Amino acid sequence: MLLGCIGDDFTGSSDLGNTLTRQGMRSVQYVGVPDQTADANVEAGIIALKSRSAPVDEAVRLSLEALEWLRAQGCRQFLFKYCSTFDSTPEGNIGPVAEALADALGASRVLVCPAFPATGRSVYLGHLFVNDRLLSESGMENHPLTPMTDPDLRRWLAQQISGTVGHVPAIVVAQGPEAVRACLDAQDVEGHRLIVADAINDTDLVTLGQAAMNLPLLTGGSGIALGLPGVFRAAGLLSDTAGNWTGQSGPAAILSGSCSNATRAQVVRHAQSNPTREVDAGAVMAGEIDAEVLAEWALTQDGLPLIYTSADPDTVRDAQLRYGRDTVAGAIETLFAATARALVAKGVTRLITAGGETSGAVIEGLSLTRLEIGPEVDPGVPVMRANANLVLALKSGNFGAPNFFAKAAQVMAAP
Give the global pTM: 0.81
- Confidence at residue 241, expressed as pLDDT on a 0 to 100 scale: 67
Mark whether 221 and 317 lie in a shared domain: no
Question: Is the same domain home to 7 and 134?
Answer: yes
Let me know if residue 165 belongs to a domain.
Answer: yes
The reply to whether 164 and 306 lie within a common domain is no
3-state helix, strand, coil in the chain (%, to 5): 40, 25, 35
Kindly state whether residues 279 and 190 are assigned to the same domain.
Answer: no
Torsional class of 233: left (φ above 0), alpha (ψ -120 to 50), beta (otherwise):
alpha
Query: What is the structure's pLDDT at 311?
Result: 58
Q: Which DSSP category does 39 fall into?
A: P
Q: Are residues 188 and 66 in the same domain?
A: yes
My answer on whether 28 and 126 are in the same domain is yes
**Of 308, 317, 241, 304, residue with least CA distance to 272:** 304
CB–CB of 389/253 below 8 Å?
A: no
- Can you give the length of the chain in residues? 415
**Burial level of 204, CB count in 10 A (0-12/13-18/19+)?**
buried
Q: Is residue 80 assigned to a domain?
A: yes
Cα 344 from Cα 337, distance rounded (Å):
11
Instruction: Give the domain-ending residue among 172, 201, 234.
Output: 234
Predicted local distance difference test score (pLDDT) of residue 379: 87
DSSP three-state, residue 413: strand
Q: Is residue 242 included in any domain, yes or no?
A: no
Q: How far apart are CA 54 and CA 89, in angstroms?
A: 11
- Cβ contact 384:14 at 8 Å: yes
Same domain, 166 and 59: yes
CA 11, CA 26: separation in Å to the nearest integer? 18
Residue 101 lies in a domain: yes
pLDDT at 246: 86
The confidence score (pLDDT) of residue 252 equals: 98
Let me know whether 258 and 404 are in one domain. yes
Q: Are 62 and 146 part of one and the same domain?
A: yes
Residue 83 pLDDT = 92
What is the C-alpha to C-alpha distance for residues 122 and 118, in angstroms, rounded to an integer? 9
Question: Structural domain of residue 304, as residue ranges?
Answer: 252-412
Sign, CA torsion 259/309/119/359: positive
Residue 66 placed within a domain:
yes
Among residues 234, 269, 301, the one where a domain terminates is 234
Assign 204 to helix, strand or coil: helix
In whole angstroms, give the CA distance from residue 105 to residue 395. 31
Tell me whether residue 221 is in a domain.
yes
Residue pLDDT tens, the chain, 415 long: 999 999 998 888 988 999 998 888 989 999 999 999 998 989 999 999 989 989 999 999 999 999 999 999 999 999 999 999 999 999 999 999 999 999 999 999 999 999 999 889 999 999 999 999 999 999 899 888 899 999 999 999 999 999 999 999 999 999 999 999 999 999 999 999 999 999 999 999 999 999 999 999 999 999 999 999 999 999 999 987 665 778 999 999 999 998 888 899 999 999 999 999 999 888 888 899 999 999 999 999 999 999 998 656 677 778 778 888 788 888 999 999 999 999 999 999 999 999 888 888 999 899 999 998 888 999 889 999 999 999 999 998 888 999 999 999 999 998 8
Same domain, 392 and 340: yes
Amino acid in the structure at residue 413: A
Sign of CA dihedral 270, 272, 277, 282: positive
| Domain end residue (candidates: 234, 266, 284) | 234
Query: For residues 11 and 17, what is the distance between their CA atoms, to the nearest angstrom?
Result: 10
Is 246 within the bounds of a domain?
A: no
Residues contacting 84, CB < 8 A, separation 6+: 114, 115, 116, 119, 121, 221, 222, 223, 380, 398
Is residue 263 domain-shared with residue 199, that is, in the same domain? no
CATH number for 401: 3.40.980.20
The CATH number of whichever domain residue 210 belongs to comes to 3.40.50.10840
Domain total for the chain? 2
- Residue 244 belongs to a domain: no
Q: 144 and 97: one domain? A: yes
**Residues forming beta bridges with residue 350, ordered by sequence position:** 252, 391
